[in-house]
């Protein structure tokens, strides 16, 4: 049996209230609650890094990384390699994208489980046409799962799959929103496949009634109908963040692992272009190794977002840009030379006097020692604001920009942009944590680096 060693989920901070959406478009109702929205400086790669960092909080170093998404930041380039670099995993190991369909999430989970020490990263940004159900019911987020040998928190007991070719949901390359066929047709196609896969996986596992049941599908009606046909002993508490595409099944599983007890069974059902079913059984180790930030707490936190701002961030509303020169396109050679610093935020520590340098240096600014430097990873270290400035004229899709001089615990000082915060939430002495973000995109090249945010957000 395959062991699950760790997991984590990441829910971005911003929320688009469905009432706000309905009011902006002049429609009635719109439903209750809100959908989670990735910030302007987030994409599937950066959110994948956030989830993976939390899943690897014990210093684990996976031998492979499988990244699943329906909204890759790049095509013709592996996005998983940026996640691998941001985790400071060196150059050893295999990193691969599984992109295109939400079913790639199951592919990533199975690949990580089969690797004998693999990490599955599921991340997605869901965009629908203005006023559509996809826009209203979608959500953004990420989850990560580490498999391998050791003290498992859950074991994969049985798996079953069914595949069929039918046109239910599709999106052409270059389009931002998907299209779907008539709802009743999808229901008629999905339900027999779900019944078949669930029947076989329960029979293989020798389980009549699982304790927890998760049903994830882009076809909302099929998911709701299937959940009623295969109820678990413990009612599911779905995270109120919206359907998160390739990340949806992972976020739902993380939410169940947050509250499941030892020795309980979890039936995971993902219905996308067929159906994949998996039955897991938790172990006593789960209570000691739960995710540090439960999905429910992340879902409850959030900052409301205006609909016009959401459209601007998604590129659906073109607004006048800042009247400042655009930044230059990031160049490949210097980015490659500074890979550990740019992606992993790794500085250097002088072996002669202990001075920490960010960015890395060959010559110590304190004692003058030359080439006597050791690696000093800082991405996981807390920091504090020494001083800061608010720039309301800088080039940014979401001004103002807050730049802060940050002192890191254990040494090191650097100036970073603060994200997910307003100027009145920042002051000298504010505790900070680092987060991997996209600074800007020029000529199709994403400039990834690290920002800071107030701790605990």
CA nearest to 187, candidates 153, 155, 229: 229
Q: What is the pTM of this model?
A: 0.94
Per-residue pLDDT tens over the stretch 304-338 = 999 999 999 998 888 877 667 778 888 889 899 99
CB atoms within 10 A of CB 345: 25
In the chain, the percentage of residues whose pLDDT exceeds 90 is 79
Query: Quick one: pLDDT band at residue 457, thresholds 50, 70, 90?
Result: low
Q: Is residue 110 within 8 Å of residue 7, measured between CB atoms?
A: no
At 29 the pLDDT is: 53
Mean pLDDT, residues 402-414:
97
Beta bridge partners of 94: 64
The pLDDT of residue 25 is: 79
- Residue 236: what pLDDT? 79
| pLDDT score of 1 more than 70 | no
Q: What is the pLDDT of residues 344-354, one digit of tens each?
A: 999 999 999 99
Q: At what angle do helices 183-205 and 220-229 cross, to 10 degrees?
A: 40
Taking 80 as the threshold, does the pLDDT of residue 26 lie above it? no
Select from 306, 312, 241, 318 the least CA-distant residue to 24: 306
pLDDT digits (tens, 9 = 90+) for 167-200: 999 999 888 899 998 889 989 999 999 999 999 9
d(CA 236, CA 257): 11
pLDDT number for residue 31: 72
Report yes or no: 122 and 111 within 8 Å, Cβ to Cβ. Answer: no
Residue 57 pLDDT level (bands cut at 50, 70, 90): confident
């Amino acid at each position: 049996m395959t062991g699950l060693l760790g997991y984590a989920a990441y829910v971005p901070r911003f929320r688009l209230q469905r009432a706000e959406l309905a009011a902006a478009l002049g429609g009635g109702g719109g439903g209750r609650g809100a959908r989670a929205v990735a910030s302007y400086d987030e994409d599937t790669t950066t959110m994948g890094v956030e989830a993976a960092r939390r899943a690897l909080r014990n210093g684990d170093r996976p031998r492979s990384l499988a990244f699943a998404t329906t909204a890759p930041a790049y095509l013709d380039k592996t996005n998983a390699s940026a996640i691998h670099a941001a985790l400071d995993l060196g150059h050893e190991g295999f990193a691969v994208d599984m992109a295109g369909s939400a079913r790639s999430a199951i592919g990533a989970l199975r690949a990580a489980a089969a690797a004998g020490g693999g990490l599955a990263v599921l991340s997605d940004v869901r965009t629908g046409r203005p006023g559509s159900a996809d826009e209203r019911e979608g959500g953004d987020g990420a989850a990560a799962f580490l498999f391998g040998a050791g003290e498992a928190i859950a074991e994969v007991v049985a798996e079953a799959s069914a595949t069929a070719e039918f046109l239910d949901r599709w999106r052409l390359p270059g389009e931002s929103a998907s299209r779907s066929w008539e709802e009743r047709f999808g229901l008629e196609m999905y339900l027999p496949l779900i019944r078949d896969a669930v029947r076989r996986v329960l029979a293989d596992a020798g389980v009549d009634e699982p304790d927890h049941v998760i049903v994830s599908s882009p076809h909302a009606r099929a998911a709701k109908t299937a959940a009623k046909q295969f109820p678990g002993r413990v009612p599911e508490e779905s995270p109120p963040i919206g359907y998160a595409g390739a990340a949806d099944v992972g976020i739902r599983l993380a939410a169940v692992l947050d509250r499941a007890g030892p020795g309980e069974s979890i039936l995971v059902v993902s219905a996308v272009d067929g159906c994949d079913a998996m039955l897991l059984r938790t172990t006593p180790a789960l209570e000691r190794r739960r995710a540090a930030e439960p999905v429910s707490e992340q879902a409850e936190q959030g900052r409301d977002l205006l609909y016009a701002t959401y459209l601007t961030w998604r590129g659906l509303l073109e607004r006048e840009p800042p009247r400042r020169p655009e930044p230059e396109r990031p160049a490949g050679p210097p980015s490659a030379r500074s890979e550990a610093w740019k992606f992993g935020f790794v500085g250097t520590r002088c072996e002669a006097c202990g001075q920490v340098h960010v960015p890395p240096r060959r010559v110590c600014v304190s004692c003058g020692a030359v080439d006597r430097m050791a690696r000093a990873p800082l991405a996981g270290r807390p920091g504090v604001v020494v001083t800061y400035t608010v720039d309301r004229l800088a080039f940014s899709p979401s001004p103002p920009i807050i730049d802060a001089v940050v002192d890191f615990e254990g040494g090191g000082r650097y100036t970073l942009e603060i994200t997910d915060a307003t100027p009145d939430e920042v002051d000298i002495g504010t505790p900070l944590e680092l987060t991997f973000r996209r600074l800007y995109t020029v000529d199709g090249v994403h400039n990834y680096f690290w920002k800071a945010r107030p701790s605990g957000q």
